[in-house]
Amino acid sequence: MVDYHAANQAYQYGPSSGGGNGAGGGGSMGDYMAQEDDWDRDLLLDPAWEKQQRKTFTAWCNSHLRKAGTQIENIDEDFRDGLKLMLLLEVISGERLPKPERGKMRVHKINNVNKALDFIASKGVKLVSIGAEEIVDGNAKMTLGMIWTIILRFAIQDISVEETSAKEGLLLWCQRKTAPYKNVNVQNFHISWKDGLAFNALIHRHRPELIEYDKLRKDDPVTNLNNAFEVAEKYLDIPKMLDAEDIVGTLRPDEKAIMTYVSCFYHAFSGAQKAETAANRICKVLAVNQENEHLMEDYERLASDLLEWIRRTIPWLEDRVPQKTIQEMQQKLEDFRDYRRVHKPPKVQEKCQLEINFNTLQTKLRLSNRPAFMPSEGRMVSDINNGWQHLEQAEKGYEEWLLNEIRRLERLDHLAEKFRQKASIHEAWTDGKEAMLKQRDYETATLSDIKALIRKHEAFESDLAAHQDRVEQIAAIAQELNELDYYDSHNVNTRCQKICDQWDNLGSLTHSRREALEKTEKQLETIDQLHLEYAKRAAPFNNWMESAMEDLQDMFIVHTIEEIEGLISAHDQFKSTLPDADREREAILAIHKEAQRIAESNHIKLSGSNPYTTVTPQIINSKWEKVQQLVPKRDHALLEEQSKQQSNEHLRRQFASQANMVGPWIQTKMEEIGRISIEMNGTLEDQLSHLKQYERSIVDYKPSLDLLEQQHQLIQEALIFDNKHTNYTMEHIRVGWEQLLTTIARTINEVENQILTRDAKGISQEQMQEFRASFNHFDKKQTGSMDSDDFRALLISTGYSLGDAEFNRIMSVVDPNHSGLVTFQAFIDFMSRETTDTDTADQVIASFKVLAGDKNFITAEELRRELPPDQAEYCIARMAPYQGPDAAPGALDYKSFSTALYGESDL
C-alpha cells in the first residue's frame, strides 16, 4: 500500500477485515438516497445537527483509521488532500485504491479526492452534487454528506432483517432487541433515543453483566446516556460518538448521527452472535469426539482386562500335572466346577457387552461422519474371539483330562489294593516255609518217619505248585501298576521282587530237600495210606477254600448294572457248588476218622498228628466256617453295588430327561430369534419390545439350566462317565446357552442401533419399513445378509442407475472388509447417508474462522474466551502450531485439526 502520509510520517498497513461489511454488491445507493431525501443540499444544516454529525462522523472515521495507525481532528480539513479519505476507504472496504499522487498542489488533491469518489461510485453509490472541488475547498456540508454516504454504503446498507431496507432493517433489529424492556419504545432514530434507555437496553440484552438496567430512571436521561456511552467505549470498543447534553438539549436529535452510532452496536453484537453460533457448532462436534474417545478408552480397558483374564486362565487350564491320589484330583475337578459356575459366567457377560459396546461405538462414529474405530493391536474383537476360542478349547481338554485321570487313579487304587491283598495272603503262606525246608530231621528219623517226610514233602510240592498262579498274578498286577505310572510303584516293585526272590528260593530249597529225602527212601518201607490219602485230598480242598476266601474278599469295580449283574450271577454259580464242596469236606474228615478208628481198634498209639500234612480237620472246619461267613458278606456287598448302579442309572435318566428338554428349547429359541431379526413386524420399537420379552423369557428359563447343572454335578460326583439316554452333554448345553444369550443381546443391540440411526438421520418409520421390506425381498437365503449380485438388484429396484465404477464405489462403502456380503445395518447406513445431511469438516473450519476473526489461525486465548473450559483445553492439547507465513506467536492450526476430526488426515 502507498504511503499516504509522506509529508508527515511513514507507516505501513494492510487491508483489514474488521471494518464494515466489505465491498460486496447490494442495491443502488442512489435509490436509497432518493428514499431518504432529507439531505437538503441547498440549505444550511441545523447548527445543533451539524455539531452532532461532526462529532459522530469524526469518531466513526477514527474508529476505522486507528487500524491504520492514524486519525483526523477536523473532518472538513483533514480530508481535503484526499490521502486520509483514500486510506479510510481502503480500511473499511479491504480493497486497494489507485496509487495517490504525492504532490501538494490543488490539482494533486483534486485528483486524489476524485479517485476516492470514483471508488465510492464503483460500489453502486450515486453521488448527487458532491464534487472533488467542494471537498478540497473544505465545504463542511458537502464533506459531511460524503461521509454519510460512505457510512450508509459500508456500515448500514447490508443490514437487513426480514428483507427490509437498510434503515428499516436496523430499526427492526433495535425494536426486537429492546422489546422486553419497560419504558423503551423505539419508533425512529431521533427522539426514541433521547432518554438513553434504548442504548442501555441494547447493551443489557447482549451483555447483561455490564448494565444494571433496573436501577436506571427515565427522568435522568443524561445519566442514562453517559452510562451507555462509557460502557460501550470501555467494554465494547465503540468510541463515544455523541454528547449526552447535546442530545438532551436538542428537540430532535440528528437522525444520521444516531443511526451511525447505533450501527456500531449492531456490528459489535452481530459479530458476537456469529462467534456464539460458531462456538456452539464447535462445542457440539467436540462433544461428539469426546464421547467417542471415552467409549474407545472404555473398550480398550475392558478388552485389556478380558484378554488379561484369558491370558491368566489358559495356563491354569493347560496345566496337566497329575496328582498322586483321587482326592487331590477330585479337588481339582471341584475347582474346575467352581470356575465354570462362578468365575466364567461374568466373563461371558463382559465379552458380550464388549461386542455390544464396540458395535454401538461404530454406529455413533458412522452417524457423526467419523472414521471407524480401530482398536489397538491385539485388542480387536477378533483377537478376543480367538482368545476365547483358545480358552474354551483348553477348558474342554482340561475337563476330559481330569475325568480320564480320575478313572486312571481309581483303576490304580483298585489294582494296588488287590496287589496288597494277594501279597499279604502269599506272604502269610510262605511264612516259615524256608525254615521248614532247611530242617535236617530226616537224618535221625526212622523208616516210617522218612516215608512220612517224603509224603509230606510231596504234599508241600503240590501246595507250592498251587500257589504258582498267585505269584504270577502278583507279578502281573505289579507290571500293570508300573505301566499305569502308579505313584508308589517303587514300594510295589520292591515287595514284588522280594516275593519272587523268595519264591525262587523256596523252589531251590524244595528241590534240595527232595533229593535228600529220596536218598534215604530205600531204607524206608511202609507208609500210612490213610494219612497219605487224607493229605492228598485235604491239600487241594484246603487250596480251594483259600481261593474261595480270596475270591469272596476280592475287590471289584463296575460302572453299569450289566456288570454288577454279571458278578451277582457268577457269585450265585459259586454258591451252587457249595453242597458238593461240603460233601468233599465230609469225605476228607471221614478218612481222618477212619484212621483213628483203626488205630484205636488195633490199640495203635499214634505219635501226634498226621505226618503227611499240616492241614488238620480243625483247619478244614475253621476255613469252611470262614467261607460260610464270607458268602453272605459277599451277597451284601454285591447288593449294595447293585443298588448304587441302579441309583446311577436313575441319575442318568434324570439328567437325560432334563437335557432332552433344555437342548431343543435352546435350539427353538435360537431359530425364533433368527426369524424376528429378519421379519418386519411393526415398528422398530415393537421389534425391540418383542426381543426384550424374548430376553426376559430366556433369563426366566435359567433355573432349568441350573437344575441341569445340579444333576450334572451329581453325575460327576458319582463318577458316571457315559449316558446312553441322551445325545446332549453338559458342555453342549452350556455352549448353546452362551450362544443364545449372546445372540439375543446382539440382536437387541442391532435394533437399538437401527433406532439410533433412524433418529439421528431423521429417517421416518415408513422409510425404515420400506428399507427392511426391500432388504428382506432380496435376502433370498434369509440369513440377514446378501451377496453383491442381490445387493445390485436391490439398488436398481430403489432407482439407482449403476455402472461398474459407481457400484464398486458403493460396495467399498457398505463392505469395507471385502467379505462379499452386505448386512442390513450397512444398507441402512448407506441409505441414511444418501438421504440426510450431517456436519462436515468445512462447516467446522468455517466456525473456527469466525471465532478467529477471519484469521487462518487461532490462539489459545481466543479458544478459552469463546469455548467452555474443558472443550477449549481439548482443542489446545490437540491443535498443531500454525506454520503459515502470517503466523503470530502461539498461533494454532484449526484447519488440520478440523479435517482430522473427520478422519481426513492424522493429528
Measured distance CA(321)–CA(94) in Å, rounded: 86
CATH class of 845-901: mainly alpha
Measured distance CA(58)–CA(243) in Å, rounded: 13
CA atoms within 13 A on the CB side of 177: 25
Please name the fold of domain 443-635: Methane Monooxygenase Hydroxylase; Chain G, domain 1 (1.20.58)
pLDDT tens by residue, 248-270: 988 899 899 999 989 898 888 87
Q: 287-425 — its CATH code?
A: 1.20.58.60
Average pLDDT value for residue range 166-190 = 90
Model confidence band, residue 226 (pLDDT cutoffs 50, 70, 90): very high
State which H helix or E strand residue 823 sits in. Answer: strand 821-823
Among 42-51, 245-254, 624-633, 812-821, which is the least confidently predicted range?
A: 42-51
The pLDDT of residue 446: 56
Q: Is 196 a residue whose pLDDT tops 50?
A: yes
The pLDDT of residue 2: 35
Nearest residue to 359 via CA among 826, 839, 812: 826
Helix, strand, coil shares of the chain as percentages rounded to 5?
Answer: 70, 0, 30
Classified as helix, coil or strand, 391 is helix
Identical topology for domains 648-757 and 765-822: no
Does CATH number 3.30.1330.10 belong to domain 648-757?
Answer: no
Nearest residue to 282 via CA among 873, 879, 892, 847: 847
Model confidence band, residue 753 (pLDDT cutoffs 50, 70, 90): confident
- The residue extents of the domains of the chain are 47-281, 287-425, 443-635, 648-757, 765-822, 845-901
The pLDDT of residue 221: 94
- Residue 323 C-alpha cell reads as 496328582
Average pLDDT value for residue range 328-349 = 86
CA angle 503–505–511, rounded 5-degree value: 105
Residue for grid cell 435350539: 667
Average pLDDT value for residue range 423-437 = 86
Measured distance CA(325)–CA(360) in Å, rounded: 51
Average pLDDT value for residue range 334-352 = 88
Among 166-170, 352-356, 835-839, which is the least confidently predicted range?
A: 835-839
Among 68-82, 274-288, 493-507, which is the least confidently predicted range?
A: 274-288
Q: Is 93 a residue whose pLDDT tops 80?
A: yes
Indicate the burial class of 538 (C-beta count within 10 angstroms; 0-12, 13-18, 19 or more): buried
Q: Considering the chain, what is the average pLDDT of its residues? A: 81
The pLDDT of residue 903: 67
Average pLDDT value for residue range 687-696 = 85
Q: Which amino acid is at 534?
A: Y
Model confidence band, residue 492 (pLDDT cutoffs 50, 70, 90): confident
- Residue 165 C-alpha cell reads as 431496507
- 140-151 and 47-65 helices, crossing angle to 10°: 50
The pLDDT of residue 16: 30
Among 271-275, 425-429, 613-617, 854-858, which is the least confidently predicted range?
A: 271-275
Q: Is 565 a residue whose pLDDT tops 90?
A: no
Measured distance CA(543)–CA(545) in Å, rounded: 5
Measured distance CA(216)–CA(232) in Å, rounded: 16
Please name the fold of domain 765-822: Recoverin; domain 1 (1.10.238)
Classified as helix, coil or strand, 670 is helix
Q: Is 168 a residue whose pLDDT tops 50?
A: yes
More confident site: 28 or 376: 376
The pLDDT of residue 27: 38
Q: 47-281 — its CATH code?
A: 1.10.418.10
Among 86-90, 499-503, 680-684, which is the least confidently predicted range?
A: 680-684
Q: Is 217 a residue whose pLDDT tops 90?
A: yes
Average pLDDT value for residue range 434-445 = 76
More confident site: 555 or 92: 92
pLDDT tens by residue, 643-661: 888 888 888 888 889 889 9
Nearest residue to 30 via CA among 21, 22, 39: 39
The pLDDT of residue 153: 84
> By percentage, how much of the chain surpasses pLDDT 70?
88
Let me know: does 672 contact 732? Beta carbons within 8 Å.
Answer: no
Model confidence band, residue 211 (pLDDT cutoffs 50, 70, 90): very high
Task: Centre a 10 Å sphere on the Cβ of residue 605 and count the other Cβ atoms it contains.
Answer: 6
State the DSSP code for 98.
Answer: P
- Long-range contact list for 5-14, CB < 8 A, 24+ apart? 5/70, 5/83, 6/102, 7/104, 11/68, 11/69, 11/70, 13/67, 13/68, 13/69, 13/91
Model confidence band, residue 232 (pLDDT cutoffs 50, 70, 90): very high
Let me know: does 712 contact 730? Beta carbons within 8 Å.
Answer: yes
Q: Which amino acid is at 260?
A: T
Average pLDDT value for residue range 236-244 = 89
Q: Which amino acid is at 13?
A: Y
The pLDDT of residue 234: 92
pLDDT tens by residue, 36-76: 334 444 334 567 788 888 889 898 999 889 888 899 999 88
